[in-house]
Amino acid sequence: MASNPPASSGSLFRVLGVAFGLAIIIGNTIGGGILRTPGTVAGNLPTPTLFLGVWLLGGLYALLGAVSVAELGAAIPRAGGQYTFASRAIGRYAGFVVGWSDWLSTCGSATAAGIVIGEYLPTFVPALEGQTTPIAVAVILLFTFIQWCGVVWGGRTQELTSLVKALAFIALIVACFALAAPAGSVAAVEAPPAPAGFAVAAAIVIALQGVLYTYDGWTGVIYFSEEVQDPGKDVPRSMIGGVLLVIAIYVLLNAALLYVLPIGAIAASKLPAGLAAETIFGASGDAVIRVLAILSMLSAINAFMMMASRTLFGMSRDRLFHPVASRVNRGGTPSVALWIGAAVAIAFLFVGAFDQVVAVLAFFFVVSYTVSFTSVFILRRREPDLPRPYRAWGFPFTTGLVLAGSVVFLVGAVFGDPENSKWALGALAASYPVYWVTQRAGGTAD
């Protein structure tokens, strides 16, 4: 990342590099999910081969998705993430749905990460007991202020916090293999019966849902395509390299869990990483996992706040929100969009149905992927002469494969969580009248 941004103000600066791209993907992807999800996966696939295999399969999906979406990020270097592609390929209404759902869910993710820090920090500072909400507010405001100081400050913070997070996970993996006895020395826990026949395929699909949620976040760098020094090269390198790093950490961590714990113990635990840490470090294991979770949330909050500000900035510039949010300060930060995102993230702390709101918005993350993969096909046909510094490897087969997988996953999400899916579909139906009114008010209705 360049250390000397342009002196001008009012527009985004091209000062970010591959190091930031890798950091934003690690910060946006690796979170609390990898500490919990292995238990759910092991419960559905209670054999080591299937257990590790589904993590590799989920990683392959993320990698092929990155290979495809990187083409869009390199060819259309505009801030806003997947909103940008949906709007260009399918239309402003599709962009409206993708952009607003993405922005709200990203703000909500920052809220959730702040809550985790607020719940875990009192373990080390007892005087903070019962102060979950004030702690969450303070952390969100801290990272908002850092980013308000400029994109270089935000970028450096992302690189530092993501590096610390990655090193912490690597340290846990090394500790599992170096300090723990093999799983046979741990008290055996009877594993659930392994599925057989057609039930294996059903179990893989169910387990894969949790795995894909855990891998979600690999698109992080495309929110900053307009700020990357050489998007034609840096976006693909960041996306593919970032996904490979995440796959390596996830697979090695799950292999480490298998080394320390019997598969039955993993399946029976709501926090397998915590159980492994207790096996290795004894009574200090809980503190180890809490530190790991806090470190994970710090880099995640910085990533969420940076991404949310770029999404709202892009929509504001395209008149899907008030133009004031497209203002950029002297440090190259969309400052108005940044503070609006912080206000929404803090407001979520006081929403009684926050968990349900996040669950409903999570439905749209697969919709966004589906739209992005579809956009690759549409733009290849409609704009064949669009300069593409990077082209998706294996197109149309690789993109078609992840598109089909996204559709299957979307159908599975609808049937697997009918209550929240019903609310999500209702929100989708209600979004068009809202879109129509906002566009009429702005004089840009289709």
State pLDDT tens for residues 311-331: 999 999 988 888 899 999 999
* pLDDT (0 to 100) of residue 446: 53
Which of helix, strand or coil describes residue 16?
strand
* pLDDT (0 to 100) of residue 195: 77
* Among candidate residues 420, 21, 32, the one with its CA nearest the CA of residue 218: 21
User: Which residues make Cβ contacts (< 8 Å) with residue 15, sequence separation at least 6?
Assistant: 1, 2, 5, 151, 152, 155, 227, 229, 332
Q: How many CA atoms lie less than 13 Å away from 242 in the CB half-sphere?
A: 36
DSSP-assigned beta bridge partners for residue 16: 228
Per this entry, what is the length of the chain? Answer: 446
* pLDDT (0 to 100) of residue 445: 53
* pLDDT (0 to 100) of residue 31: 84
Query: Which token pair is 169?
Result: 């996970």
Sites in the chain below the pLDDT cut of 70: 1-10, 182-191, 352-356, 358, 416, 441-446
Segments making up each domain of the chain, as ranges: 18-442
The CATH fold assigned to 18-442 is: Amino acid/polyamine transporter I (1.20.1740)
* pLDDT (0 to 100) of residue 4: 42
